[in-house]
Amino acid sequence: MRTLQRHGLKRTIVIPYNFLAPVPPTDAFPYPLLGLDFASWISQPYYLLSAEDTLDKIAVEELGPIAAAITDLVKTLAALDSRTIKAGREFRKLQT
């Protein structure tokens, strides 16, 4: 959340992977079935993969902030050691 705020991503939200369906509606769908942790950055406008899906729909001004946010997230995750990641998994199990 802090990363999204820091980069001004006002149209981006964090939701649980199963908010829309039992598995994410993306190419990440098998990960929860396999018990793997993942992050899926998706955008599904109504016109996605249709004749209306043209280059003029790209929000060019958002590309830099989105790239910076993804970079920050990857750097943060890459810096975590396995004990921290395992502790996070155990914490999530306690919440369900």
| pLDDT averages per 10-residue partition of the chain, 96 residues | 86 82 83 83 72 87 91 87 76 58
- Residue 29 has a pLDDT of 84
Contact 17, 34 (CB under 8 A): no
Closest CA to 62 of 25, 9, 26, 22: 9
Residue 67 pLDDT: 93
Q: What pLDDT does residue 43 have? A: 65
Which SS3 state, helix, strand or coil, does residue 31 take?
helix
Single pTM value for the model: 0.67
pLDDT the model gives residue 44: 65
